[in-house]
Amino acid sequence: MSAGATAQEQTAQDLLVALVEVSADGLGVLDPDGHLVRVNRAGRALLGLAGGDLPPHFVPFGTSPAGLGVPDGSGALLTVTTVDGRRRVLEYRLTTLPDGHAAVWFSDVTDELRQQDRLTAITRAAAQVAGVRSLRTTLDAVAREVVRTAQLGAVQIFALDDPRAEVRVLGMAGFGDAADFTERLSAVRRLGAHVRFMDAFATGRPVVVRHRKPVIMADPRWAPLHAVMDTPDWDSFASVPLVVGGRTVGVMNAYYKPGEDPSASSLAFLEAMADQAAVAIHIAALLARTRSEAESDERRRLARDLHDSVVQQLFSMRLQAGALRAQLDAGEAGPAGVRAAAGELAELAQSALADLRGLVFELRPLELADRGLVEAVRAHADSVEVRTGLVVEVLADGDVEPAWELTVQEDVYRVVQEALHNVVKHARARTVEVRFALEPDGHCLVVTVTDDGCGGGEAPAGPTLGLVSMRERAERWGGRCTAGPREGGGWQVQLTLPLVEQQPERTQGGLDR
């Protein structure tokens, strides 16, 4: 071979080596046992390797090229722990060489996959917030999404009105049983510990503290929380504010696993999830305000009903009794007159008693606990019949008595009660049917209230307060309530509620309900 040819080959080889070294992807050679025997500069960086010789017996891609089960030229994903302790996801391809070695190409796709996971988590969190669940249940689910997606040890979502006030824990994941966290945190603050998430609350900006756990565990002022804070596997800490309408309403705290630093992309994800949590808190506040207004309206309605029925009847009884006394004092009342007046008084008293019982029953349906939902509705239907003359038939298709908590049953009862009240007040109906039935798949209970009144015309332009209240009661437990005219005349209210009971909002320390 000529010297010129040899020089050209050397030049080509040098060029190939240079191309390998400048590649942004990892390129290397594996021996027949899977040991990495050569790797370019980018590959060293991806695997966390320093310069110099490769570690002996370093097998990052499996026991051997053949044992990896990856056909030549095809791609695969592999989670590796680099020499410097980082967990990374590598996409790689292998090509077997004639001597049994293998060439490997690999690239770090950790951030790309995490970004996909983060977008999915944000979508799921938005669905949780839009769903009809208690605030604690919703934010617990958001916290779990953040832990799962961001490779965190734990997450907390706190609500806070004032830096001096007690923190309310609205969501938590990764801490196990931390029922008394609020009380322990208050003790830590009284001891004078620097609680860094308060900085995020005060400034409205994210706070990042690397290697925070060793500092906390060595600080005696954090002693009340040492057992709780030591449970998750974490090292660094970040806190992002929850902001609604320019006002900070709480914080989201993230506890990063060792080797996972709070990067810019990770903080951006936390801020997006914090926005979802803030929206959930805002929606819960609006619903609570609406519910309070609805309850106030219901109390005013009961007061009006009391005045229009019982009070008027008692006033008539007083007048009747006064007239009878005047006749007796004047000696003008004979037996027939006394008997007639007494009969009128008895009739007024019976009517007032029936109305009063009906109003008391509306305030507190005791039959729910003693007799169950269906029988309680039947008792209320009987009361409506006595007071109004309306014929109310309550039907149950088979055994449909739901095994719900009393709070759920009372909301269903109130929906039926409001529907019957609307029939009495507006429909000019003669008969009403209340029917309890299961959906064909058996997953939901359907309660319909149907009348034969004058509700077959146009539906109201907007929802009435009574209908808003009924819908809120249904949505509180994952159900729905609709109302409208039915074919053939009359009006129908339909309530659909899942038989798998939604968890009511639970409390912890000073939590809101």
Question: Per the domain annotation, does 213 fall within a domain?
Answer: yes
CA terminus-to-terminus distance, the chain? 88
Q: Rounded CA gap, 217 and 223, in Å?
A: 8
Question: Per the domain annotation, does 212 fall within a domain?
Answer: yes
Number of domains composing the chain: 3
Element (H, E) at 368: helix 367-371
Q: What is the pLDDT of residue 463?
A: 44
Domain match, 83 and 184 both? no
Residue 141's identity, in one-letter code, is: A
Q: Which domain holds residue 75?
A: 17-108
Q: What is the pLDDT of residue 496?
A: 94
Handedness of CA 330, 335, 337, 340 (dihedral sign): positive
Domain match, 81 and 167 both? no
- Percent helix, strand and coil across the chain, each to the nearest 5: 50, 20, 30
Q: Which residue has the higher pLDDT, 337 or 103?
A: 103
Domain match, 384 and 419 both? yes
* pLDDT tens by residue, 356-413: 666 665 655 556 767 788 988 998 888 888 778 889 999 998 777 887 887 888 889 9
Q: Rounded CA gap, 284 and 251, in Å?
A: 16
- Report the percentage of the chain scoring pLDDT > 70: 75
Q: Domain containing 372 — which CATH number?
A: 3.30.565.10
Give the mean model confidence (pLDDT) for residues 243-256.
90
CB 388 within 8 A of CB 426: no
Domain match, 146 and 90 both? no
Domain match, 126 and 103 both? no
Q: What is the pLDDT of residue 457?
A: 46
CB 41 within 8 A of CB 31: no
Q: Domain containing 77 — which CATH number?
A: 3.30.450.20
Q: What is the pLDDT of residue 285?
A: 76
Domain match, 403 and 472 both? yes
Domain match, 370 and 221 both? no
* pLDDT tens by residue, 192-209: 999 999 999 999 999 999
Helix (H, G, I), strand (E, B), or coil: what is residue 492?
strand
Residue at a domain's end among 88, 108, 128: 108
Question: Per the domain annotation, does 352 fall within a domain?
Answer: no
Question: Per the domain annotation, does 322 fall within a domain?
Answer: no
Please state the pTM of the whole predicted model.
Answer: 0.48
Q: What is the mean pLDDT of the chain?
A: 78
